[in-house]
Structure 1
Amino acid sequence: MFTRLLILFFALAPLLTSAAVILQYHHVSENTPPSTSIAPAQFKMHMQYLKDNGFKVVPLNQIVDAIKHQQLMTNKWVAITFDDAYQDIVENGTPILEEFNYPYTMFINPGAVSKAGHLGWEEIKQLASNGVIIANHGLEHQSIARIPAHMDEKTWLEQQSKELLETEQLIKQHTGQSWHYFAYPYGEFTPKIQQWLRDHGFVGFSQQSGAAGISSDLSIIPRFPVSKPYDQLSSLRDKLNSLPLAITLEESNAQTIFEYGQSKSITFNIEVDDFLPSQLNCYISGLGRQKIKWLNEQQFSITYSNDLPIGRVRCNCTAPSISERGRFYWYSKPWFVLKEGGTWYPL
């Protein structure tokens, strides 16, 4: 494989390292839940870091369009996104963003508009008129992956289709925008839900880590969460310098929902040659570093060191780039592991 790498990577390097990073924030406050918050002072440090290190903050649609049209992305593209339209974003985050003249996107839930701690439609409309992209986060911030016990999947998705389109219509009515961008509430999805989103002409954004590239699946474009405890500049630096590790999953490997103890291993199909196989490392949340078995030049598998823990679980795989010294390829595979008996963990 290494001989083939030496032959190919010089020609392919511009394609392989065409990357953009999408940052995901929620609250900009010191008085909100830590796991979804960043302090205003720390948020300003993030923005200053982007400026000081030559990153170009672009509107989210610029990255989406590059993926759709298979256009190379300029090095150091970054997009800033917020979920849930909290009041503190405008109070504490927007002044900082305006100071740096950075565009951003806000994913909103119309059902929460004007409720305690959330923005009202007039404020959202003003943001839109100032160039902020307003996008779809579901009508009521309801996990689409959690089908109620009394409902079959077909009926559930029909109901979710109505809410998806109703939300998009409300956004258009109040802001004049309709991007058909959807951020999965709680980051939970399945392959069927991905297809459902494609069938409705939407682009999907997830919450698993990784850089975006021209090979990114438009139904699950990755975003890096950068709230506490992942808000330190050292962590931000690694994320901003990451490259998209192009991996595909087939059949059962693509599934995301398993009952505890049900899934024991996974096989990845890899489409990037710009790293040494011996330097690929994969870590599963709660289990640590995993042993990798290469099946051939394009496939590797992991047999988990223990059962996947209950809850939202990630397998993060990284490898240093040959052509871009100091930069790492990064891919994240999510699972949503149910309790024994098939009941969901708390949100």
Structure 2
Amino acid sequence: MNLLDRLDSYDYELPEELIAQVPADRRDQSRLLVVNRQTREISHHTFAELPEFLNRSDLLVVNNTRVVPAKLVGIRASTGGKWEGLYLRDEPEGCWRIIGKTRGKLTVDEEIILSPASGEPTKELLKLTLLKKCEGGEWIVRPQSDRSTLESLALFGTMPLPHYMQREAEAKDFERYQTMYAEHPGAVAAPTAGLHFTPKVLDECHQRGVARAGVTLHVGLGTFRPVKVDELAKHQMHFEWCDLPTGTVESIQAAKANGGRIVAVGTTSVRTLESVASQGEFAAWQGETNLFIRPPYEFKIVDALLTNFHLPKSTLLVLVSTFANRELILKAYQEAIDHRYRFFSYGDAMLIL
């Protein structure tokens, strides 16, 4: 098996104390590791310095998805046992697709009862009737409510922080686990590279002649699921819904015509752009993608990448390594560890030029 096809080629040792449990005091106070693919130079900065590395006519492409309060906690009506779950997406006929865990085995027609996430005393409850079990432990359920999905989640759900944060969501997470340009609800995890932006940083980018355009990719359950095969070619990538609007296509074409770079903010923006480009004609598109970017993939649209630090042996680390070079990325990760950078969702950022 080729070295680049092996999952264990994308592994590294991370001290547990470097896993960020809370965000930086200010979004743009995060650190920024800058990696130059041509010179292989690695330098250390703060995120507030990002505009200095961008040029006139460059285009920032951001993922404007909005995280929904998808984490659910309830009890099984039949046993009174605790149940924890995650809303994944809407299904036809007013149903939801969810995943959950509880003691014992769930059965069709069983009910889960949710109480408001605020914990305030109320008579209002939400019942979820289990209709069908799907692959991967997922279920199709019918919520017994006249509310819209977003209204129900706002009342009964909370922010779905990743498991490695080892804490429950707090009030501040409803703001900080959301990009400042979040617009279209549907994600169950944040596109974390965008969490560092502030109005000041974006304004400085604009003053330098750097434009911004949006795509939407609703980050799904696959973000939390580990790769379970040793050979990357055997990994079945998860599907995620994405949207590349006409205006963004036109902005990309204009930037490239003017000699600018397409700077993807986050791996989700990369997957959206490259998914469309891989289909042939680069034009406006909506649909589901399961594109797994791994060697020897050749990038068609993205020229530079802003991203956070990713978990060992993850598809996201494989994507970043494909973009830059595996040895260079592992060297950069080790330097980040040596300099005590903060890792994962609330951690620091890396700019690959």
Pairwise same-fold verdict (TM > 0.5): no
TM-score by length of 1: 0.25
TM-score by length of 2: 0.25
